[in-house]
Copies of this chain bind each other. A is one copy, B any other.
Amino acid sequence: MVLRVAVAGATGYAGGELLRLLLAHPHVEIGALTGASSAGSRLGDVSPHLTPLADRVIEATTPETLAGHDVVFLALPHGTSAAVAEALGPDVLVVDCGADFRLTDPAAWEQFYGSPHAGSWPYGLPELPGQRELLAGTRRVAVPGCYPTATTLALLPAVAGGLVDGHDVVVVAASGPSGAGKSLKPHLLGAELMGSASAYGVGGGHRHTPEILQNLRVAGATGTPTLSFTPVLVPMSRGILATCTAPLVDPEITAEAAYAVYAEMLADEPFVQLLPPGVWPQTQSVLGSNVVQVQVTVDRAAGRLVAVAALDNLTKGTAGGAVQCMNLALGLPETTGLPRVGVAP
């Protein structure tokens, strides 16, 4: 099988990571690469790490340039995917790395994004209960946000396994700035970021908050989930380390029992790895890989479960997750072409 694949938004960070992974995928032939302000430039000038594609020229993002592909990945600004997808027709697999079709609740969308809701597509987190079935054969995928992927996978076994019920979840997630894309904003300058940690979007305003809550409900949260979510920028290019805590349903649950629940529920997940007891996740271990590393324990005195997840925000957090969904949608083995070893140290 040879799939002809286009990437819209090819010169951004998500687009570049898609190309890195697609170049290693055995069934992919890379077709059109499109961009906005970068149209007309050579990829080798803009993204010199993509050695085999150095001579490719970026085209404009139009229905014409994207036509004739089996798969189109969208790595576009929020609010632009719907029109592009419509023009591509229903038979093309469209995998959207943006937010437009992630939320099922129009009210949540409008509260956090301030624009009309475009609708929702099958949500690209195969590890959620029932989600692989929804993704099989679909021609539309909404790839999750990077923080929701990290947080959901950290807590999923706890919620689905009944250790916690989703109320009063508190998450603090350290992240590198590549998740913010190639935006020219002063606080994303290297001189501002290096040697410094800083919080942003504090107090419930980050747009990934409703997406995480939606996932906790899908995971089986029996109460009304609430979430205090704080992202923290730290001085590394890539990576998210999410520290997630929630009150234990049963204060007598031991760390060993919680670990056993995680071990059982994650046993068959190809990309979620429960670390050996006592080993805690570090983002370096998953750099460039599609793996999420997870560890869990119980804080008896505080009455809380504490789970930590590490992932690469551009790989499993965006582009790797997107390729994983492409595999599922097209009936390929889920792990095809996806690295499982991080570039460490």
Chain B neighbourhood of A78, CB < 8 A: none
Please give the distance in Å from A24's CB to the nearest CB on chain B: 7
Range, interface on chain A: 35 or more
Contacts A228-B245, A243-B172 known; A237 to B191 CB distance under 8 Å? yes
Each complex incorporates copies of this chain amounting to: 4
Q: Is the CB of A196 within 8 A of B51?
A: no
**A9 contacts B by Cβ under 8 Å:** no
Contacts A202-B308, A282-B196 known; A234 to B234 CB distance under 8 Å? yes
Q: Is the CB of A185 within 8 A of B188?
A: no
Chain B neighbourhood of A265, CB < 8 A: none
**A114 contacts B by Cβ under 8 Å:** no
Q: Which of B178, B191, B237, B342 contacts A188 (CB 8 A)?
A: B191
**A333 contacts B by Cβ under 8 Å:** no
Please give the distance in Å from A201's CB to the nearest CB on chain B: 9
Q: Is the CB of B236 within 8 A of A234?
A: yes
Chain B neighbourhood of A13, CB < 8 A: 191, 345
**A286 contacts B by Cβ under 8 Å:** yes
Chain B neighbourhood of A193, CB < 8 A: 190, 194
Q: Which of B24, B180, B191 contacts A177 (CB 8 A)?
A: B191
Q: Is the CB of B192 within 8 A of A345?
A: yes
- CB-nearest residue of chain B to A170: B170
Q: Is the CB of A44 within 8 A of B283?
A: no
Q: Is the CB of A297 within 8 A of B203?
A: yes
Contacts A174-B197, A275-B48, A282-B196 known; A228 to B306 CB distance under 8 Å? yes
Mark the stretch among A62-70, A97-105, A158-166, A288-296 that contacts chain B.
A288-296
Chain B neighbourhood of A177, CB < 8 A: 189-191
Q: Is the CB of A197 within 8 A of B51?
A: no
Mask for A298-322, Cβ within 8 A of B = 1, else 0?
1111111010101000000000000
Mask for A205-245, Cβ within 8 A of B = 1, else 0?
00001000000000000000011101010111111010101
Q: How far is the CA of A341 from the CA of B21 in the complex (A)?
A: 9
- CB-nearest residue of chain B to A185: B184
Chain B neighbourhood of A302, CB < 8 A: 168, 170, 204, 226-228
**A1 contacts B by Cβ under 8 Å:** no
Q: Which of B192, B227, B247, B341 contacts A52 (CB 8 A)?
A: B341
Beyond the given pairs A172-B230, A180-B191, A237-B345, 19 more chain A to chain B contacts, judged by CB atoms under 8 angstroms and listed by A's residue number, are A24-B339, A170-B170, A176-B194, A177-B190, A190-B193, A190-B237, A191-B238, A192-B284, A192-B345, A194-B195, A194-B235, A198-B284, A198-B310, A199-B281, A199-B308, A227-B302, A230-B243, A234-B234, A235-B235
18 residue pairs of the A-B complex, CB under 8 angstroms, read A13-B191, A16-B344, A24-B339, A48-B293, A49-B289, A49-B342, A51-B273, A51-B341, A54-B276, A172-B243, A189-B345, A191-B237, A194-B235, A198-B281, A199-B243, A204-B300, A232-B243, A235-B236
Give 6 closest A-B pairs by Cβ, nearest first. Answer: A196-B284, A198-B282, A190-B193, A172-B172, A203-B297, A49-B342
